[in-house]
């Protein structure tokens, strides 16, 4: 279905690329080179525009007036924002202001198309824009996996390819990232989908019992009165998913290696080995090669099992997935709780969830949304429905106030002190840090690599003034290497050149005007 899409981007090359990619999907594209021009186009075509795509890659855009208008735009059309890697905070602020989704550059044409289609679906139906996930006990396919980020999209694509073969697959990633979900999707998409999917967690079974659990126990054995078939037998002609393979005891590793090599399970001496026809999918939250080096995992077994590795990134590394996961969980749990209407999630709650690092990954996010849905009083989940997350975010949030006059505030992640540039910071800063300080009592500057945070009257200086000083410092620090300056400042080259012009710095000889 054809829709009208508004694209706002100051980079002409990016505008052309986005226009071509979106038009290839059959949509009509309106382009603007500034926020003001974009808002004017939106006002003229308010009833026709189905979604807005706006670039917020440059740090200064986070505080622009356009973000204040996103809430108004969102009432009529979902807004998708673009940002660069490492500048997720800008996207979080945009989400809080009402943005529907965000993309991290560089992103593929497919990801852009998927984001737009999701936004259009949201606009047309007012739904969460994502099908309800099947219940936890049901079959799961790749279509049920949220893969808005490039990292998760890559994992899903590798999973689809793995499903077309029977080679062992090794899923790597922290606990709770969704390894079992990928494993089930591989099974459901494979030729073995009609056969059993059997899972066993090595860390949940005592070492003394794991061999019998995997390979079976013969009838009459001292530890068992009757025969137990074992997981390999249960998974015959299907898929066996072995979680936390690194926890397998050394003696069981030897037997597993024998089974993988021969395709047979040795039973009681004197009896013929039992043939096995099982597809293996393994999972680990440890670096197995480090386990091999430490002598805790057999090297020969490692190379037998690590045939098709798939790494699933931690949720904090793929924050683009969080809004989609949260909406999906809220909708699914609303259905499971038999609510009359699926609960929505407001902009503030989405920003809160997106800004959190989720040490427990997707599983922790799922549990947080589940709790919120069960305890919700209204039709929409708000920040108040996630009190535990709010408390942790508050504890981690740095102070927004400047240090008292005469004191120094150390800020990690700013420009590093470099002896070649001269100047001595007021307070010793560890390597990789810089000093951001108020103006000295005498009103003078305190050092060549110190950014003065207050003016002579003791008030916080304007952001533009500090930005100009930082750019001039970066030009000298990186000796006029424009690509490196832009990359380290987290902005595009076109944005950097525009700022040089604004601050009267000659782009052909930037070091001449450097700090």
Q: pLDDT tens digit string along 198-228? A: 999 999 999 999 999 999 875 444 444 445 7
Return the pLDDT at 91. 75
Asked whether the predicted pLDDT for residue 167 surpasses 70, the reply is yes
Q: Are 469 and 423 in contact (CB under 8 A)?
A: no
Domains with residue ranges and CATH for the chain: 1-127 (3.40.50.2300), 142-311 (3.40.50.300), 315-397 (1.10.8.60), 409-513 (1.10.10.60)
Residues 6+ apart with CB under 8 A from 218: 224, 227, 267, 268
Q: Mean pLDDT for the chain? A: 79
**Is it the case that residue 305 has pLDDT exceeding 90?**
yes
Give tens-digit pLDDT for 272-302: 888 999 999 999 999 999 999 999 999 999 9
With bands split at pLDDT 50, 70 and 90, how would you rate the model's confidence at 128? very low
Average pLDDT over residues 101-110: 82
Q: Binning pLDDT at 50, 70 and 90, where does residue 425 land?
A: very low
> What pLDDT does 80 receive?
87
pLDDT over threshold 70, residue 386: yes
Token pair recorded at residue 81: 């924002």
Q: Is the entire prediction scored with pTM above 0.75? A: no
Q: Is the pLDDT score of 124 beyond 70? A: no
The answer to whether residues 28 and 2 touch, using CB atoms and an 8 Å cutoff, is yes
Distance CA 21, CA 367 (A): 37
Please, are residues 292 and 312 in contact by the beta-carbon 8 Å criterion? no
Q: What is the mean pLDDT of residues 138-161?
A: 88
pLDDT in tens, 84-103: 776 667 777 777 777 788 88
Lowest-confidence region among 5-19, 59-73, 135-149:
59-73
183: confidence class by pLDDT, cuts 50, 70, 90 = very high
Which of 19-23, 68-72, 209-213 is predicted with the least confidence, judged by mean pLDDT? 68-72
pLDDT tens string 429-455: 433 334 444 444 434 443 455 677 777
Q: With contact defined as beta carbons under 8 Å apart, do 194 and 307 qualify?
A: no
Residue environment code for 345-382, b if the CB has 16+ CB neighbours within 10 A, otherwise e: bbbbbbbbbbbbebebbbebbbebbbebbeebeeeebb
Contact between 239 and 187 under an 8 Å Cβ cutoff? The reply is yes
């Amino acid at each position: 279905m054809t829709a009208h899409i508004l694209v706002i981007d100051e980079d002409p090359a990016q505008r052309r690329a986005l226009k071509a990619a979106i038009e290839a999907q059959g949509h009509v594209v309106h382009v603007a080179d500034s926020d003001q021009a974009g808002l004017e186009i939106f006002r003229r075509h308010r009833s026709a525009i189905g979604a807005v795509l706006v670039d917020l890659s440059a740090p200064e855009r986070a505080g622009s007036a356009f973000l204040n208008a996103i809430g108004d735009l969102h009432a009529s059309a979902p807004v998708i924002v673009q940002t660069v890697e490492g500048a997720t905070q800008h996207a979080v602020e945009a989400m809080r202001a009402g943005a529907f989704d965000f993309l991290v550059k560089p992103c593929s044409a497919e990801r852009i198309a998927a984001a737009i289609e999701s936004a259009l679906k949201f606009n047309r139906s007012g739904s969460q824009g994502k099908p309800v996930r099947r219940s936890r006990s049901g079959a799961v396919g790749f279509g049920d996996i949220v893969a808005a980020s490039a990292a998760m999209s890559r994992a899903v694509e590798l999973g689809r390819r793995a499903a077309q073969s029977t080679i062992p697959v090794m899923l790597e990633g922290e606990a709770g990232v969704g390894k079992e979900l990928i494993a089930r999707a591989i099974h459901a998409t494979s030729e073995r989908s009609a056969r059993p999917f059997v899972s066993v967690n090595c860390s949940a079974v005592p070492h003394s019992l794991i061999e019998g659990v995997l390979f079976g126990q013969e009838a009459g054995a001292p530890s068992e009165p009757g025969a137990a078939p074992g997981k390999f037998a249960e998974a015959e002609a299907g898929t066996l998913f072995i979680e936390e393979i690194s926890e397998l005891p050394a003696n069981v590793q030897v037997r597993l290696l024998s089974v993988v090599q021969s395709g047979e399970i040795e039973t009681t001496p004197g009896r013929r080995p039992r043939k096995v026809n099982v597809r293996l999918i393994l999972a680990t939250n440890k670096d197995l090669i480090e386990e091999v080096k430490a002598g805790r995992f057999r090297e020969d077994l490692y190379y037998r099992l690590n045939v098709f590795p798939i790494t699933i990134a931690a949720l904090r590394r793929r924050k683009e997935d969080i809004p989609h996961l949260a909406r999906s969980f809220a909708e699914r749990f609303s259905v499971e709780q038999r609510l009359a209407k699926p609960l929505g999630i407001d902009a503030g709650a989405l920003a809160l969830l997106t800004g959190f690092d989720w040490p427990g990954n997707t599983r922790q996010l799922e549990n947080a949304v589940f709790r919120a849905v069960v305890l919700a009083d209204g039709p929409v989940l708000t920040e108040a429905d996630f009190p535990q997350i709010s408390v942790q975010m508050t504890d981690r949030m740095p102070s927004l106030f400047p240090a008292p006059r005469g004191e120094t505030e150390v800020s990690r992640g700013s420009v590093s002190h470099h002896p070649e540039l001269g100047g001595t910071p007021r307070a010793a800063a560890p390597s990789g840090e810089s000093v951001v300080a108020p103006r000295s009592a005498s009103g003078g500057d305190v050092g060549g690599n110190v950014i003065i945070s207050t003016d002579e009257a003791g008030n916080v200086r304007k952001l533009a003034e500090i930005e100009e000083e930082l750019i001039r410092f970066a030009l000298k620090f990186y000796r006029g290497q424009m690509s490196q300056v832009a990359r380290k400042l987290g902005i595009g080259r076109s944005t950097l050149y525009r700022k040089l012009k604004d601050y009267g710095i000659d782009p052909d000889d930037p070091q001449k005007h450097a700090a």
